[in-house]
Amino acid sequence: MSSCCCPERSAEPSAARCPQSGSAGEAVDRQTIKALLTERALRRLADSEYRFCPDADCDVVYFDANGSRFLTTDVRVAVWQKVPYGARPVCYCFGESEASIRAEIEADGRSAAVERIREHIAAGRCACEVRNPRGACCLGDVTAAVKRVESWLSTRTAEPTSASVEAADVG
């Protein structure tokens, strides 16, 4: 049985880069975009192939080869890759966030977020392909978030900056 709910994606051409940041974009299913765009933004959705921009310093969430762009203000949910460290949502199906992971570690000494999500995936409850703005399984993101929060809590020197957590971000 797979440990992830979303199908594997093939490698995308390197020419598919965000027009604002230049970051390589990941193909995103149209169903994901339609589910997450605001009503106003949805009116601008063209019959095109869109990509997700993962760059934390870029406001573009989705873009196509024709120059169409959807920004963070055009999406119904906070996009964790675009939100500062701390309370970012990481799992859009089951409500796991950096804040909930941190609270669990502080209370219990560890987070069981990854195990909970694996159980949901095994039970067929996952909908990352629609709910996650990236349109892909969040399990790797949650695993990285748990490690990031554990690391921060073990050092407790200062609240991580965007630059310090960017290297640890997955996806």
pLDDT digit string, tens, across residues 43-77 = 999 999 999 999 999 999 999 999 999 999 999 99
User: Is residue 171 predicted with pLDDT exceeding 70?
Assistant: no
Yes or no: say if 94 and 102 are a contact pair by the CB < 8 Å rule: no
pLDDT higher than threshold 50 for residue 170: no
**What pLDDT digit, counting tens, does each position of 122-153 carry?**
999 999 999 999 999 999 999 999 999 999 89
Tens digit of each residue's pLDDT (9 = 90 or more) over 111-129: 999 999 999 999 999 999 9
pLDDT (mean) for 88-98: 95
Q: How confident is the model at residue 6 (pLDDT cuts 50, 70, 90)?
A: low
pLDDT number for residue 27: 95
Q: Kindly report the number of other CB atoms within 10 A of residue 22's CB atom.
A: 10
Residue 5 has pLDDT above 70, yes or no: no
